[in-house]
């Protein structure tokens, strides 16, 4: 199973970050390849992402289901691509490092399912770390800009 994690410090108060992070539609646009977001209910949403997995470039819809919200430090979720066999889970974790400094960590664990699983897993093992890093960098940029 391809796994990726990224962490870093954000010049932002943990409570301010929570107000942003607790709603998935706020940070969905920070995902690499973001196309659109549709809220189904409080915990379920559909994210359209343009995937770039080397030879495979296409827009995929992911059903994202929040499985846990712990204010102000954690959001966990499951995700599933609706047209290609990809399932996984992820999380956001925050740790207060000072009044206006928060350490964040993103974790993604995704894998292919069905017949194309081996090929999908090879592609994900190459792209998942890159995408996780870009998500972290985009989120830090948005949060630090809003804090100014």
pLDDT of residue 56: 60
Backbone φ and ψ of 136, nearest 5°: -60, -50
Give the chain's domains with CATH numbers: 3-147 (3.30.530.20)
Model confidence at 147: pLDDT above 60: no
Tell me the pLDDT tens digit for each residue of 99-134: 999 999 999 999 988 877 888 888 889 889 999 999
pLDDT of residue 144: 87
Model confidence at 148: pLDDT above 50: no
- What's the start-to-end Cα distance of the chain, in Å? 39
pLDDT of residue 21: 93
Tell me the pLDDT tens digit for each residue of 6-58: 999 999 999 999 999 999 999 899 999 999 999 999 999 999 998 766 556 78
Model confidence at 5: pLDDT above 60: yes
Alpha carbon 140 to its chain's center: 13
Model confidence at 74: pLDDT above 60: yes
CB atoms within 10 A of CB 112: 22
């Amino acid at each position: 199973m391809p796994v990726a994690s990224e962490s870093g410090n954000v010049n932002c108060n943990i409570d301010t970050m929570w107000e942003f992070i607790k709603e998935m539609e706020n940070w969905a646009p920070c995902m690499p390849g973001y196309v659109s977001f549709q809220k189904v209910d409080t915990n379920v949403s559909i994210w359209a992402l343009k995937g770039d997995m080397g030879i495979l470039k296409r827009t995929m819809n992911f059903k994202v289901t929040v499985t846990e919200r712990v204010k102000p430090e954690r959001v966990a979720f499951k995700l599933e691509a609706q047209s290609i066999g990809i399932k996984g889970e992820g999380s956001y974790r925050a740790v207060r490092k000072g009044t206006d400094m928060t350490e964040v960590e993103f974790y993604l664990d995704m894998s292919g399912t069905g017949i194309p699983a081996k090929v999908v897993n090879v592609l994900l093992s190459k792209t998942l770390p890159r995408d996780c890093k870009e998500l972290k960098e985009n989120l830090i940029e948005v949060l630090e800009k809003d804090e100014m």
